[in-house]
Structure 1
Amino acid sequence: VTSVKGRRVSSRETYHAIIRDFTAGDIIPVKVWRRGAGRAFQIPSQTFPDALAEDWAYKSLGIRVQALSATHRLRFRIPARDGVIVTQVRAGSYLDRIGARPGDVIRKINDLVVKTPADFKGAAIKCRHKESAVLLIQRGNQQYYVTVKIEA
């Protein structure tokens, strides 16, 4: 990709900064360099599919989550009634390295409150073009903010 809407693309970061300006349904003019020649395309933008959000979160944030249930609250001694519970932490991910574990509860991603899996998906989708995300994690009665680098 050499340009988007007439703006030169010099890096991945530049590309993501330009793409953020578009909303679902916009037609995006893109120029690419392929096989020694420049080509121009008009690409219709779409919303990020909710179905892909869980896999994206596992790959990029390193966690899988599900709805926080009464069984989870009892098993992990969680006083919170809102949030999503971490069910899996990807080995080697940043959250794994800092000690996140199943039973932790995600309460926020950036400034977005997470009460349900749908909230988590929506917040994950909104942070996918960023370099990092701030998660509010609760373990027991303790809450702490963690800045997580988004892994590509």
Structure 2
Amino acid sequence: MFRTGIPSSPAAAGLALLLLATGCTATGPTDNSTSAPAQVQGEADGGSSASPSSGGSGSSGSSGSGSQDDMSIPDIVDAVQPSVVTIFTEEGLGSGVIYTEDGLVLTNEHVIHGNQDVEVAFADGQRVSGTVEASDAVSDLALVRADRTDLPAATFQSGLPRIGELAVVIGSPLGFENTATSGIISGLHREIPGSASSSQSLVDLIQTDAAISPGNSGGAVVNGRGEIIGISEAYIPPTQGAVALGFAIPAPTATEVAEELREDGTAEHAFMGLAPGAITPQIAEQLNLRDTTGVVVLSVSRGGPADEAGIRPGDIITKIGDDELSTPEDLLAALRQRDPGENVSVEARRGSDTRTVDVALTDRPAAQG
């Protein structure tokens, strides 16, 4: 898959190879290069509803598929667009959402990857310098400090949207700043097939049919009340037979990571200490597997949680807690829902034997991304 910035690198494995990146490094209206082939990412979004939040994470919205308070799409765009920015790097451009009044902007990590100094363009036409304050590759989120204050911070919804709810995307696709597209929320808890081999971020996503294109990455998906419900992350291009398949990081995930990054520059992620893999026909033959359900353990970190629990390479993991696993992305999504320090039961097969072990999850070591 590819980053959604305005892409520039090769693809990963499986369906991931089919994804185009939409956000991170656009170099102009006609530039369609990608910045990171293994992740598809998003769009740009705008700000708050009628009264922007001053704290970014001050999410006042509740999950729901609309109410009498819903605005028209033009009113949504008018309300949110001032909170959407375009982020320029040496490699290209992406989008971002104003997180706090004092200049913090939330965007994708792949938008700013490899850069410390950027330029931030606002809806009113003003451009200022910006500095990358913190980033987290696992969630593909980053905070940029723009050299400007008294900004209209966006309001983030505290819960997940409902399938069928209005979705408005605002960003800078292919360099066309302040572009708005609309659709609905098409699905929740989505994973991009084949992405686990190259990325940790393309799991537990919101799916929308609102158009997302390169340059949109780091922007937002907005509901009918002008609240941010997601940060644009990826899309599958029509050349692969897809029709309006876009993906976004849910607002609760985005704000949780953003608050951790604000606190000390890092974000915590549950770590199991193993590399998951899909059970291909070749692996099934090599391991003499009759039952091909589950996820194969390709490697185990020495001294890590899985190692301590007795999990070994070649084992087949079928469940984490109550979550049944069919793909490596399922395993990453299950871990995304858990915290470091949590104990989880893991069901694994080894040969003809099936057993359940307790794994004490830890925080992901810095060296592990």
Higher strand share: 1
**Match of 2:313?**
102
Contact 1:84 1:116 in 2 (8 A): yes
**Match of 2:30?**
none
Report how far residue 104 of structure 1 moved. 0.5
CA distance in structure 1 between the partners assigned to 2:319 and 2:286 by the alignment: 22
Higher helix share: 1
Q: 1:129 to 1:98 in 2, by over 3 A?
A: closer
1:64-112 residue CA offsets vs partner (Å, 9 max, x unmatched): 1111111111111222211111001001123223432111111011100
1:126 to 337, 358, 362: 337
2:280 to 41, 45, 69: 69
CA distance in structure 1 between the partners assigned to 2:301 and 2:318 by the alignment: 19
**Match of 1:80?**
291
**Match of 2:172?**
none
1:115 to 326, 335, 351: 326
CA distance in structure 2 between the partners assigned to 1:98 and 1:121 by the alignment: 18
CA distance in structure 2 between the partners assigned to 1:145 and 1:99 by the alignment: 10
CA distance in structure 2 between the partners assigned to 1:135 and 1:111 by the alignment: 9
Runs of 5+ consecutive residues of structure 1 not aligned to the other structure: 1-24, 30-40
Report how far residue 133 of structure 1 moved. 1.3
Contact 1:84 1:117 in 2 (8 A): yes
2:354 to 135, 143, 147: 143
CA distance in structure 1 between the partners assigned to 2:284 and 2:344 by the alignment: 26
Amino acid at match of 2:200: L
CA distance in structure 1 between the partners assigned to 2:200 and 2:327 by the alignment: 17
CA distance in structure 2 between the partners assigned to 1:68 and 1:62 by the alignment: 19
- Structure 2 residue matching 1:27: 3-state secondary structure: coil
Please give the root-mean-square deviation of Cα atoms over the aligned residues, in Å: 3.3
Runs of 5+ consecutive residues of structure 2 not aligned to the other structure: 1-55, 61-99, 107-137, 140-190, 192-198, 204-268, 364-369
CA distance in structure 2 between the partners assigned to 1:118 and 1:98 by the alignment: 22
Contact 1:78 1:139 in 2 (8 A): no
Amino acid at match of 1:102: P
1:16-59 residue CA offsets vs partner (Å, 9 max, x unmatched): xxxxxxxxx96369xxxxxxxxxxx899x9xx8373369x56xx
Contact 2:309 2:359 in 1 (8 A): no
**Match of 1:5?**
none
1:52 to 173, 188, 200: 200
Q: Which runs of 4+ in 1 moved over 4 A?
A: none
Q: 1:133 to 1:115 in 2, by over 3 A?
A: same
**Match of 1:27?**
58
Amino acid at match of 2:58: I
Amino acid at match of 1:147: D
CA distance in structure 2 between the partners assigned to 1:109 and 1:98 by the alignment: 13
Q: 1:94 to 1:130 in 2, by over 3 A?
A: closer
**Match of 2:73?**
none
Aligned residue-pair number: 113
Structure of greater Rg: 2
